[in-house]
A and B are shown apart, each in its own frame.
Chain A
């Protein structure tokens, strides 16, 4: 297996799918001549030309709508948002057009398209540019939402997303583009809606997704030194969500901590806790705890930003609390 960056894994997925199906095209701000704001589309303009790799004006609502129209007539657009913070301007097309088209047309129009771009806080980008949107988007029936945390998952899930006939929201980690990991050679597909057990242990389940999967794996390694072995359940897709994998793990460990990048209220973690209380009530030995961003707009000051973010230390404290070790 080759070790590649998260960024290159995404580029591989785009290239392979552009080669595989000539209905697939990429559109967004700076994706063509500039090779993408985060260089995910590097080299694709040269290889596939301006009909397949399309630069757009700075009009998120406009080009998202173009994508919806293209999907309605049989193309398979990939719409890149420079970040999901900018995609708020396009949510009418994502939520009201793409997510509802199959339903409201009585099945006449499929919506085989992907909305992708970086999500979540990076470093000191301020309150407006440091937000994780998965709970907003996972709320919407009609959408599928992917949150890959590793290069292998990024590649495998993006290929599945492009081949899916439904609108898929694909949330990349802004801080993940430079991370490296092994990616299986050749055709590598990760099905939507299937979680992965990234670490195995009997003492506690940490259920997470996206960038926080890396934090959870670090937590697992740190706790292992203290003799505490945890399951790390990486949801990978938060809609549809792999309830069976969650239940299987919690029924084994009897304790759970749910870790996410976003805010507490109505966060993805609330939904996971709801599944746990329903599926695992008689298996629980402690209340399920959540680790998430503090309930404030992301501070700009470096020290405050660090304090506001969920991290390994907070997660370890929560694991010990549900194990009654604190």
Chain B
């Protein structure tokens, strides 16, 4: 039985992928789980693995080719198996310029993404603002049914006989639990080989898919879905009216901006002292800001929230994303439970994530699942700026550079280190006073930086 190798959705938002490099040649023996190729998604370079055993008989895509998700890239089969019809169907599909299946990938996306015909390249997202779209529910991709792992032998007892093999062309079977787990982890069911009776995908198949590097938002999605880690707030009438009226006035996300100038003198002193203590204590201003923001979010759950159209979700856990510039855009890796990390843990993790981001090695679960975002352009000499909210988050804090300024304190002129921050707020969720109180709390932490290390 031949196994088709298709372009898989390797990130939650991926609509097409570019084949960077084949790692197996035609004629190579391959096993399920072997890496066949490297594929560049919209976020990172990921490995495409074999979903069956056999010989890599035919490669249908060239290095450098971009293909929509679902496109046949290669065929794995027995050495003497006839694969002409499979290869032929791919060719005719290419001529017709429409794929045999409806464009799979993400169906429910943010309003900025239109649903492109598969024949036309899907629109690329603009690189302005943080580029991560919220994870959309994974859509099972129709694929030919797989053979059952073992013939299901009828057994006497029990009234149900679940082992009937699925008919050719029938739908792919999966247990309700498997479907739920796949959806939570962002795994495409179509990419999975079912080992239950009749090829049914069961829990262990989802777990194995995860272990062999199946795509997904996995850990991050789980973090945000865990019961007790959030509180859903029903929309009151006034909230609904605010949301509707302000959206009409100001685009889909009615954003307003709050700017504050903090005195960073003590934070700068703290940082200098830490640097003097040795490299292992060194932290950046960015780390200090993230820690301060995380602690402030813990006191302001109404800002640590998602707008979910029919309700607002306040999170009890604090996952702070930081915008990182990469060669051709930006990405927002996440510091999970940032409020529980020490300043040095934040520093170390932030460095690691930034490095991975620049090398395009971030996994989807590392850049999805944030509850709030911080963007810092201070290092580029920017005094202040406004950042664009990454929905469904409801706020983003833009950090300007720290610089010496003359300040009047108690009637006398002093030179102080000052830092300007601007918070973009989704007015459907965050009102002016709410945002202002949050910025006051951030100020308390930034201006009393000892509170960040004790």
**A residues touching B (Cβ–Cβ < 8 Å)?**
254, 264, 281-291, 314, 317-318, 321, 324, 326
With A254-B177, A324-B196: A290-B202 Cβ-Cβ less than 8 Å: no
With A254-B203, A324-B202, A324-B204: A284-B176 Cβ-Cβ less than 8 Å: yes
Any chain A CB within 8 A of the CB of B159? yes
B132 / chain A contacts, CB cutoff of 8 Å: none
B160 / chain A contacts, CB cutoff of 8 Å: 287-289
Any chain A CB within 8 A of the CB of B175? yes
Scoring B162, B176, B178, B202 by chain A CB atoms within 10 A of each residue's CB, the highest score goes to: B176
A254 / chain B contacts, CB cutoff of 8 Å: 177, 203
B180 / chain A contacts, CB cutoff of 8 Å: 282-283
Cα A291 to Cα B195 in complex, Å, equals 24
Contact with A along B157-180 (1 / 0, CB 8 A): 111101000000000000111111
Scoring B155, B177, B204 by chain A CB atoms within 10 A of each residue's CB, the highest score goes to: B177
B202 / chain A contacts, CB cutoff of 8 Å: 285-286, 324
Contact with A along B305-337 (1 / 0, CB 8 A): 000000000000000000000000000000000
Q: Among the listed B158, B162, B197, B204, which residue makes an inter-chain contact with A291, where contact means beta carbons less than 8 Å apart?
A: B158
Cα A70 to Cα B414 in complex, Å, equals 97
Cα A289 to Cα B180 in complex, Å, equals 21
What total of A-B pairs shows CB separation below 8 Å?
Answer: 49
B195 / chain A contacts, CB cutoff of 8 Å: 324
Interface size class of B (residues with CB under 8 A): 10 to 19
Q: Among the listed A285, A287, A318, which residue makes an inter-chain contact with B178, where contact means beta carbons less than 8 Å apart?
A: A285
Scoring B159, B160, B180, B202 by chain A CB atoms within 10 A of each residue's CB, the highest score goes to: B159
Q: Among the listed B153, B159, B175, B197, which residue makes an inter-chain contact with A285, where contact means beta carbons less than 8 Å apart?
A: B175
Q: Among the listed A283, A289, A314, A317, which residue makes an inter-chain contact with B176, where contact means beta carbons less than 8 Å apart?
A: A283
Contact check, B158 vs A318: say whether CB atoms are below 8 A apart: yes
Scoring A286, A289, A317 by chain B CB atoms within 10 A of each residue's CB, the highest score goes to: A286
A-B contacts, 12 listed (Cβ < 8 Å): A282-B179, A283-B177, A283-B180, A284-B176, A285-B175, A286-B175, A286-B202, A291-B158, A321-B158, A324-B195, A324-B197, A324-B204
Q: Which 5 A-B pairs have the closest CB atoms?
A: A289-B158, A285-B177, A285-B203, A285-B175, A282-B180
Residues of B138-169 at the interface with A, using a CB-CB cut-off of 8 Å, are: 153, 155, 157-160, 162
Cα A285 to Cα B177 in complex, Å, equals 5
Contact check, A291 vs B177: say whether CB atoms are below 8 A apart: no
Cα A42 to Cα B196 in complex, Å, equals 55
Q: Among the listed B157, B179, B197, B203, which residue makes an inter-chain contact with A317, where contact means beta carbons less than 8 Å apart?
A: B157
A287 / chain B contacts, CB cutoff of 8 Å: 160, 162
Cα A28 to Cα B160 in complex, Å, equals 42
Contact check, A286 vs B162: say whether CB atoms are below 8 A apart: yes
**A320 CB to nearest B CB, Å:** 10
Contact check, B157 vs A281: say whether CB atoms are below 8 A apart: no
**A223 CB to nearest B CB, Å:** 16
A283 / chain B contacts, CB cutoff of 8 Å: 176-177, 180
**B residues touching A (Cβ–Cβ < 8 Å)?**
153, 155, 157-160, 162, 175-180, 195-197, 202-204
Cα A287 to Cα B176 in complex, Å, equals 10
Contact check, B159 vs A318: say whether CB atoms are below 8 A apart: no
Chain B residue at minimal CB-CB distance from A288: B160
B158 / chain A contacts, CB cutoff of 8 Å: 289-291, 318, 321
Cα A291 to Cα B155 in complex, Å, equals 12
Scoring A285, A290, A318 by chain B CB atoms within 10 A of each residue's CB, the highest score goes to: A285
Cα A281 to Cα B176 in complex, Å, equals 7
A290 / chain B contacts, CB cutoff of 8 Å: 158-159
Q: Among the listed A264, A282, A286, which residue makes an inter-chain contact with B159, where contact means beta carbons less than 8 Å apart?
A: A264
Cα A18 to Cα B196 in complex, Å, equals 57
Cα A287 to Cα B164 in complex, Å, equals 13
**A157 CB to nearest B CB, Å:** 29
**B199 CB to nearest A CB, Å:** 12
A324 / chain B contacts, CB cutoff of 8 Å: 195-197, 202, 204
**A238 CB to nearest B CB, Å:** 19
Cα A317 to Cα B157 in complex, Å, equals 8
Chain B residue at minimal CB-CB distance from A311: B157
Contact check, B196 vs A291: say whether CB atoms are below 8 A apart: no
**A326 CB to nearest B CB, Å:** 7
**A280 CB to nearest B CB, Å:** 9
**A319 CB to nearest B CB, Å:** 11
Cα A281 to Cα B178 in complex, Å, equals 11
**B193 CB to nearest A CB, Å:** 14
**B17 CB to nearest A CB, Å:** 31
Cα A85 to Cα B109 in complex, Å, equals 64
A317 / chain B contacts, CB cutoff of 8 Å: 155, 157
Contact check, B176 vs A282: say whether CB atoms are below 8 A apart: yes
B178 / chain A contacts, CB cutoff of 8 Å: 285
Cα A322 to Cα B153 in complex, Å, equals 13
Chain A residue at minimal CB-CB distance from B158: A289
Cα A264 to Cα B158 in complex, Å, equals 9
B203 / chain A contacts, CB cutoff of 8 Å: 254, 285
**A289 CB to nearest B CB, Å:** 4
A288 / chain B contacts, CB cutoff of 8 Å: 160
With A324-B195, A324-B196: A284-B177 Cβ-Cβ less than 8 Å: yes
Cα A285 to Cα B175 in complex, Å, equals 5
B157 / chain A contacts, CB cutoff of 8 Å: 289, 291, 314, 317-318
**B137 CB to nearest A CB, Å:** 14
**A318 CB to nearest B CB, Å:** 5
Cα A285 to Cα B160 in complex, Å, equals 14
- Further 19 A-B residue pairs, CB within 8 A, beyond A282-B176, A289-B158: A264-B159, A282-B179, A282-B180, A283-B176, A284-B175, A284-B176, A284-B177, A285-B202, A288-B160, A289-B159, A290-B159, A291-B157, A317-B157, A318-B157, A318-B158, A321-B155, A324-B195, A324-B204, A326-B155
